[in-house]
Amino acid sequence: MSALAPLPALLAAVAALAPAAWPAVPLSAEYTLPFVGPGTYLIFGIVLAPVYAMVAAWFLGDPSDRFAGLLGVGYLAGLTTVLWGSLFVATLIIGAVFF
């Protein structure tokens, strides 16, 4: 007998209880918060994980150069600011022209 033998019975019991016990979750945009959604967690938690590791390695790795690390953080902050600023300006222009 394997350790996964009770799993199908457990899944069947959960599936039988699901429609009655769980509240209905609307799948519309009104349910989601304006900024924090699943995509936010995906981008900042998973997609940017290599960037976090890179920045940590700049300061914690061997050999580490504090000036080069701060220069890299400055470049990342500058690139991010330019990206988000240009997207904000483009959004304002699109809103003024088309809406």
Per-residue pLDDT of the chain (99 residues; tens, 9 = 90+): 566 667 777 777 777 776 665 666 555 555 556 667 778 888 888 999 999 999 999 999 888 889 999 999 999 999 999 999 999 999 999 999 998
Give the C-alpha separation, 12 to 18, whole Å. Answer: 10
Q: Is residue 24 part of a domain?
A: no
Does 12 fall in a domain? no
| Chain centroid offset of residue 74 CA | 22
Token digits of residue 43: 């981008």
- Residue whose pair of structure tokens reads 């699901």 in the numeric block: 18
pLDDT of residue 59: 92
Q: Which of 90, 88, 58, 63 is nearest to 75 (CA)?
A: 58
The residue segments making up the domain with residue 80 are 65-98
**Residue 72, domain member (yes or no):** yes
Residues 69 and 94 in one domain: yes
Model pLDDT, residue 22 = 61
The reply to whether the predicted model has a pTM over 0.85 is: no
Domain count, the chain: 2
